[in-house]
Structure 1
């Protein structure tokens, strides 16, 4: 995916080096994140992992055969004549070269695994690239570069991140993206309850009438 956006990255550098760059709208995406959400990419990766595992098993089997040849030579070396030793040594050397050549053919630069990865991931990369072009046209962007590419990004302002827009074009956007937040539970104020035995009326109960205080009789009162 890095190669898909290397030209865009280079163009970004050129644009920012000129005064006209100030009028250019630009943005960035994370291609690795996008492809990681694509089922076709996951299927391609699974197939590549299976192929890689099988090829690795073949190489390990060849290495075991090579090791067996070497151990047999060591155990029989004292019994062999010089011509026989030379023949066995050449046989071991050729086997070793064959194993290395096969390993390089499979896992080396532009080997079978490399070519198979290009074959399986190119359709996915093409889909992403087409979605990027659509987003660039809709948002009138002069350039979109790849956050996961070769261009080192020391700081990125999220306002320029168009990853989600590309995912929308691919039908992979999050369902809760740009959706209003859910309303919280409605909270009501509960009226304080009155103590047991008091009136349930909203008004405060009237105070009970005060009884007049009684005075003790004076000494001698009521006598003639």
Structure 2
């Protein structure tokens, strides 16, 4: 019993001696206060909408071909039906390929987002790292993505320091 109490006391003293400093950032707040991020998102949104319209146009064309085929199917020869079916399938395939090209995991939208947003994210990371090293923070947690944080003192939020370091005053 005495050994376990002594062990607990030593553990608490050891933890206190190695106390670590923590800080929080709110990435959503930081990004909302960086105008170039908002412009980049707007540009990506416009590009995405344009590409979506292209895909929808091809899909609509395929649907119209199919409707026309259905209404005329009885009067078509086997050879004509086969050609129409192939045209419909080709149009659907083209729409799916375009959708994958633009919106797939390695699609154009992903690449553009990476090219446009990565420099902004790198700047935020570098500013965070510099502030953390200067102030001796062992850990910096993003409050926007850390769902398990129930409460954190505003005193440890360094989001405004990061914005100031990046040249954006709040």
Give the one of 96, 107, 111 matched to 2:107: 111
- The farther-off stretch of 143-152 and 81-90 is 143-152
Give the one of 27, 34, 39 matched to 1:43: 39
* 1:153 Cα deviation after fit: 2.1
User: Are 1:71 and 2:55 matched, yes or no?
Assistant: no
- Higher helix residue share: 2
Residue segments in structure 2 that go unaligned for 5+ positions in a row:
1-13
* 1:151 Cα deviation after fit: 5.7
User: Are 1:28 and 2:24 matched, yes or no?
Assistant: yes
User: Are 1:96 and 2:97 matched, yes or no?
Assistant: no
Give the one of 137, 143, 151 matched to 1:141: 137
* 1:173 Cα deviation after fit: 2.9
2:11 paired residue number: none
Structure-1 separation of matches of 2:145 and 2:16: 24
Residues 132, 43 of structure 1: alpha-carbon distance in 2 compared, 3 angstrom cutoff: same
Structure-2 separation of matches of 1:20 and 1:158: 22
Residue segments in structure 1 that go unaligned for 5+ positions in a row:
1-17, 175-224
* 1:25 Cα deviation after fit: 0.5
Structure-2 separation of matches of 1:119 and 1:85: 46
Structure-1 separation of matches of 2:99 and 2:70: 25
Q: Normalization by structure 2: what TM-score?
A: 0.83
Structure-1 separation of matches of 2:17 and 2:152: 17
Residues 172, 22 of structure 1: alpha-carbon distance in 2 compared, 3 angstrom cutoff: same
Structure-2 separation of matches of 1:21 and 1:119: 44
Secondary structure of the 1:154 match is coil
Relative contact order higher in (CA < 8 Å, ≥ 6 apart): 2
Extract structure 1 runs of 4+ deviating beyond 3 A. 18-22
Structure-2 separation of matches of 1:46 and 1:129: 22
User: Are 1:132 and 2:128 matched, yes or no?
Assistant: yes
Residues 92, 148 of structure 1: alpha-carbon distance in 2 compared, 3 angstrom cutoff: same
User: Are 1:58 and 2:67 matched, yes or no?
Assistant: no
Q: Normalization by structure 1: what TM-score?
A: 0.64
Secondary structure of the 2:24 match is strand
Secondary structure of the 2:106 match is coil
Aligned-residue CA RMSD (Å): 2.1
